[in-house]
Amino acid sequence: MTDLSKVPGVDPNVPNAARMYDYYLGGSHNFAADRAAAERVKAAIPQAVEVARANRFFLHRAVRFCLDEGVDQFLDLGSGIPTAGNVHEIARERSAQARVAYVDNEPVTVASAEALLADDPLATITKADVRDPEAVFSAPGVRDLLDFSRPTALLTVAVLHFVPDEDDPVGLAQKYRARLAPGSFHVLTHGTADHDPDEVRELGGVYRNTANPVTARTRAEVAAILEGTDLVEPGLVDATEWRPEDTIGDQYRGMWAAVGRIR
């Protein structure tokens, strides 16, 4: 698709978090307004790109962990714009039969994923608001692809900080997990101001002028979202510290991350 501004429902003048994240990761599915907002975030937090990459690398490790535990189907909420290292690409390294249902409500994300997945019978994209679990579970791309009688990996990676308190992210997570079989996993990352409150306050100011305001939460608040699951080792830690595959060194901290096993 050459002209993303022609995608129905897109306002290229209003920055969007998914397209900003795409820009952080070096993608091309973004507009000038997204790039300008992302640069303002980088001015507030110069390590913003490192945070995005750390989040992405955690996702890869968590997907591989789930597959090694025998879970080969994934419900990816707020999946974002397809870039290198999508969930289905990482999953297929372990299992050719892995199934991935992506869900997002951003039009460029959905249009891009539709083109990418057109010839893939084991991966779908659904346009839906993650705050509406019934709409997500009843969508054909989710309902007809995933077998919820078997364990599933629920992915809420860098999405619940876009759900404000009034939409009850704790209750929302519980509603999703209640539909999953025992032995499923909840994979989560969430932005926090625990380490750098002043910088994150500036970041929040930038995102307030986008389509996706951010609510940074404390470690205790993020832990509450996962309450009722059994956290696998090493528990709720910074994304850079969750089962790193090599020596990390001194990296910027800014995303709480965990994988919880569903009873």
Which positions ≥6 away from 190 have C-beta within 8 Å?
158, 160, 161, 217, 222, 225, 255, 256, 257
- Evaluate whether 87 touches 61 at the Cβ level (below 8 Å): no
What confidence score (pLDDT) does residue 5 get? 67
Exposed / middle / buried, residue 261 (Cβ in 10 Å: 0-12, 13-18, 19+): middle
Q: Which residues of the chain have pLDDT under 50?
A: 1-2
Angle separating helix axes 32-44 and 17-24, nearest 10 degrees: 70
Nearest to 37 by CA among 205, 257, 233: 205
| CATH topology (fold) of 4-262 | Rossmann fold (3.40.50)
What confidence score (pLDDT) does residue 200 get? 86
pLDDT in tens, 8-35: 778 889 998 889 888 988 888 889 999 9
What count of residues does the chain have?
263
Which positions ≥6 away from 255 have C-beta within 8 Å?
51, 54, 55, 58, 158, 189, 190, 191, 192, 238, 239
Q: Report residue 181 as tokens.
A: 């079989």
Query: Residue type at 73?
Result: Q
DSSP strand pairing (229-231 vs 255-262): antiparallel
pTM of the prediction? Answer: 0.91
What confidence score (pLDDT) does residue 21 get? 87
Domain ranges within the chain, ordered by starting residue: 4-262
What confidence score (pLDDT) does residue 83 get? 75
